[in-house]
Structure 1
Amino acid sequence: MNFTKRRIEILSLLLLFIVAVMLIFPVSAETADSDNVPIFTIPGKTTIYDMKMITEKSESSIDYDSLKIPESVIASSDAKKASGEIAKDSEIYDVICFNNPIPDRQAEITLPITLYGKDYLLLLKRMNFENIDDGIDSYEGVISGIDDSHVVLTADMDNILCGFISYPGEYITISAIQASENSRTTGMPLHIVYSEYDMLQPDEPIEFCGVKDQIQTPPLYEKIVKPAGSNSKGPYDTVYVDVLVVTDNAFYSSSWVTTAQSYIATANSVTSYGRDDVKVVLVPLYDATHRFQLSANSSITTYPLETLAYYYPLSTLDFLDVDLCIYLGGYDITGEWNVAQGLSWGYDTRYAWSQMVIDWSGPVYNGNDYSRTYSIIHEIGHCFGAVHEQTYTWWLLNVRNTVMLSEYYGYPFSLLEFSSPSYNGDATHNNAQIIRNNKTSVSLYT
């Protein structure tokens, strides 16, 4: 792939901050003094593996079975080896496991970590968007002493930790990778840690969403729904929306709920639905009871929304008392919607689909954690009435785009934020207001 244009754009965007980054922030994977410096660890709770220990079998070795390392991560690592940016026997990612990474699940915690060998402290608060006590907890916070940092981590009781750590010039992803049969049998399941800045990004925009409306100016009239009685909500009140999260057999693993919750936690964070001018809390309910039926139905790869609605009809959503349903799909779809990475039937409907795997057709959609989260936030946004838009240009380049753009540019050019006059929008690009106008109606589907 030709990445010259993308590298020029990245260089232009980061030149303004390079001095501050060099003086203040942790070094990147490519500028670390040693290839052995880990990207991220929790001191005293992290074991770092050599891939040979995992892939080469012996009588004394643990059988980790197949690992679900995203294809895009492997492809990115191979590309850097081929270009000479990293050594032939190294990878852009670390393989690690955790031993009780967040033992004290208090409302507020401090978590010592290292980033590229330097010590830092995370200041985290528990996110309270769940209705169940399942041992899976999400935390949001910052890196102490680093401005504009943002952290969202999700931990369960089986040593799985998922999420991201970001600060200017870096975005680190932590993701579980063991296959479904083995992910909880080894005691400390395997994870990968990598930087989004080491990932191959599209060298041209990806046609992203199957909703075929054109880039347009949102209607900005006030249409605040305020039902009578105790349920009355104003535009800046917090509204809770119950979301059924389902999957198929291809994406399913015994840790899929933890992984899915990490995406919902990011969607609920202060940069997205939890922002002060949006004030929506997505309350997830997870279900995989129809995963075999979804995978066995040939229509799932051509018409995922219709197939989803067949197995989860409106009567089921009403019975489960959920407002919306999103399907995390483990297949690259074909046919009419083959270039789409997500679909929704839009406002006044209750279904959305988001692709969880790489798409090699045309510009490569990498299907990793960041792009998955982008797709989930985008498609659920349509259910609130949010529309496609192009909001922001910089030096004649469209390098920072909101989450409702119908094309995907990759990180850091495709943001997880909704537009408003204060967030990469203006008086005529304000999807935050559209969501505020409609969120109470959506929350009252059940």
Structure 2
Amino acid sequence: MEWVVLVSVLVMTVLSLLRVNVIIAIILASITAGLMAGLSLVESVTMLVDGMGGQAETALSYILLGAFAVAISYTGITTILVNYLIKKLTGKKTMMMLAIAGVACLSQNLIPVHIAFIPILIPPLLKLFDEMKLDRRGVASALTFGLKAPYIVIPAGFGLLFHEVIKGSMESNGVNITMGQVTLSMLIPGLGMVVGLLIAVFITYRKDRLSKPGSGGGDVEEVSTATPKDVAFNKKHFYTLIAIVVAVAVQLITENLILGALTGLVLMFVFIVVPFHKGDSVMTGGIAMMGTIAFVMLVASGYGNVLQETGAVDALVEVSSGVFGENNQALIAFILLLVGLVVTMGIGSSFGTIPIIAALFVPICIAAGFSPIATATLIGTAGALGDAGSPASDSTLGPTSGLNADGRHHHIWDTCVPTFVHYNIPLFIFGWIGAMVF
């Protein structure tokens, strides 16, 4: 049983590296896990489907955010930002990647729309990237940094939700901790993310690289990469900003992404920023933009259910903890982080992984004498590990959705592999250091 997680994640990873569609790879990994756990083929598939509801709210919120993003794009307001980036940063590769990382950071905390901004901001820049011979792997790394580092470190927007999940999961397993301590526990791991970004931007992806047509596994779409025309700020853009602010306010007040996105979408029609007869095309565009990502999240949730219900994760942690005893904190921290990496790589959701691993990590950390802050560091880092680099993570699916708009960017080799190397490795090292320091 202890080998179920490792083998099934390995199956998913190998299939993905062989360019098998990520949804097929996750389904086959789920079936592998079920069969190894003693389930029949039908029972494995049934358990997969039963678990897909765990991410239903997230999937619906992504569809509505996608529709909201399409409505925003319809007004042309994003063209103003794109044109500004083109005018100021053409030829400046390093500054372009850092600016994109900065914009992505805003999507997690200040304007928590998550990945919905990528398909409307990045495609118009692709032609410029090719003219600059900018390595798109660097852009993917910048986007993933902005999607991940802010929620790890900053207790606002998605970061507040992440820290609350850590706090609630620890308290439900018998360890009291404050939000301030949770925030403190994630500072050192967050520093590891910064180091990874700097290495990617200033060292790894500085050289010229021209993406090849068809390398992303899809058709080349020249229309989507056309350079945008100049757009002057007008009344529709003002109403659009109001809709965005209200949508963010509703989301923060209700702590519900669906209500926030729905509010913004409704206001776009109420203000007649988007004509009412465009409603069907806006929703269709939202589904086209975010539908694949939403469905991958659903299937990944089903895979997580198979791993959890079969007891595969529990068995992996129990066997790992039994190997090193309770007196070697350095080795214990290393093994727990490694377990978190494997589990999150499979599930693809750091938020969804935290409650699973907390129930297993807390007793081990208490027995080994880790402080509450050190325990939070291990749980938070272990949950975040694998989010970058996972084929099923929205932190990788989002960047690919924008960068592969012209069929020149491969999800696994151009997004998952680079982000795994530049973020999981330093996050692992700095998370281990944080557990030792705290």
* TM-score over 0.5 for the pair: no
Looking at both structures, which has the greater relative contact order when contacts are Cα pairs under 8 Å and sequence separation is at least 6?
A: 2
TM (normalized to structure 2)?
A: 0.23
TM (normalized to structure 1)?
A: 0.23
The structure with the largest helix share of the pair is 2
